[in-house]
Structure 1
């Protein structure tokens, strides 16, 4: 499973068919921007934006601002969440404010916070620009 691939010109780029994995035991903080799918089994906190799917695994713990096309929670999320689709699975817990278009909560899944149903506006991601 690759995180980045080298293009023919030697530049590093991310592709949508790849998955970035934060493994159990890892603890990472910061601002993250993904074009690829993200799977979190460790601890991740900060600003996380993905153009694809974010999965918080059973051992995953994500805190902060999360924006993605689709989010699946089987672990723990705390903070502000914005997505087109949110699924909270049997072992999942979402604690915070959500702004979503579609919401599904399985039996055993938990949500504590405020929810807003988004209209047809797409999720707006922050541009990945270098800080000055």
Structure 2
């Protein structure tokens, strides 16, 4: 009965986070901007910007430009990717150029492309010589 306890329900449903799901079988093209989490099990092609987490599921395909806070790939990504954190799971394939702060690749995950470290913006000091 612990599975149906109130405490489990409250922690998962009152977190205030929402998820947009692109279901298996769906194919969508265009420019997309999300404040919520995005989970892709279908095919999404275009420019995708998220302020949250993007998850490419096992059957998911995402092609184009992807910018997000955190990206988890268990399906297929092709294109330009920029994030603070990228996790390529054992079933994931990333094919393209990435700009990231943190990269994790599980055994079996594949990455083909180039990578750059995303640097924090540096504060410019105003030194005046007299």
**Do these two structures clear the TM 0.5 threshold for a shared fold by scoring above it?**
yes
Instruction: Determine helix, strand or coil for the equivalent of 2:91.
Output: coil
| Greater per-residue helix proportion | 2
How far apart are residue 119 of structure 1 and its match?
1.0
**Which ranges of structure 2 fall in alignment gaps of 5 or more residues?**
1-15, 122-130
Structure index of larger Rg: 2
Separation in structure 2 between the aligned mates of residue 87 and residue 40 of structure 1, nearest angstrom: 15
What is the number of equivalent residue pairs in this alignment? 106
Task: Report the RMSD for the aligned CA atoms in angstroms.
Answer: 0.8
Separation in structure 1 between the aligned mates of residue 118 and residue 83 of structure 2, nearest angstrom: 9
Instruction: Determine helix, strand or coil for the equivalent of 1:58.
Output: coil
Separation in structure 1 between the aligned mates of residue 118 and residue 100 of structure 2, nearest angstrom: 5
Separation in structure 1 between the aligned mates of residue 78 and residue 119 of structure 2, nearest angstrom: 23
How far apart are residue 120 of structure 1 and its match?
1.5
Normalization by structure 1: what TM-score?
0.79
Q: What aligned pairs does 1:77-116 form with structure 2 within 5 A after superposition?
A: 77-116=77-116
Separation in structure 2 between the aligned mates of residue 119 and residue 43 of structure 1, nearest angstrom: 30
Instruction: Determine helix, strand or coil for the equivalent of 2:120.
Output: coil
TM superposition outliers: structure 1 runs of 4+ over 3 Å: none
Partner of 2:70: 70
